[in-house]
Amino acid sequence: MSPDDHKHPEGAEQLLRAAALRVTGPRVATLQAVRGNAHADTESVIRAVREQLPSVSHQAVYDSLAALTEAGIVRRIQPSGRVALYESRVGDNHHHLVCRSCGLVVDVACVHGTAPCMAPNDDAGFSIDEAEVIFWGLCAECRPSAA
């Protein structure tokens, strides 16, 4: 299945079934909304879902986001001091760049490849399987205005 397959209802339905999730209109529409809007906040997802399902409730979208995240189909990130964002790029050990000024979020590949890409100097007995890295700075658009 190609990445673009997830934009179509059939691809979304296959992903839900593969994750042992019941296929519902709100779940399919929520997954499509996240696929179509990288790093979307909840309100953006709700607006996109309502373009397909005008009467869908906020709670149905929240529940769908929770189920998709729990199943690993969608990833939830929450940069410090920001609202939660959702993306459909999962399982590839990538990180994020966040602009301190405008809030732009950009995916960046991990230079080390496999997870976890780094390890603490003391693992405190944990079996570590993931590291989440957020790089902060100013994007190209905001950098000139900050000078």
Give the position of tokens 């079934």: 17
What is the rounded end-to-end Cα distance, in angstroms, of the chain? 46
Which mean pLDDT values do the consecutive 10-residue runs of the chain (147 residues) have? 46 92 96 95 97 97 97 94 94 89 91 67 84 90 80
pLDDT at 115: 59
CB atoms near residue 10 (< 10 Å)? 11
Question: What's residue 123's pLDDT?
Answer: 83
- Reference 55, options 34, 79, 29, 80; nearest CA is 29
Give the global pTM.
0.82
Domains detected in the chain: 3-77 (1.10.10.10), 91-146 (3.30.1490.190)
Q: What does the pLDDT read at residue 145? A: 74
Q: How far apart are CA 32 and CA 10, in angstroms?
A: 11
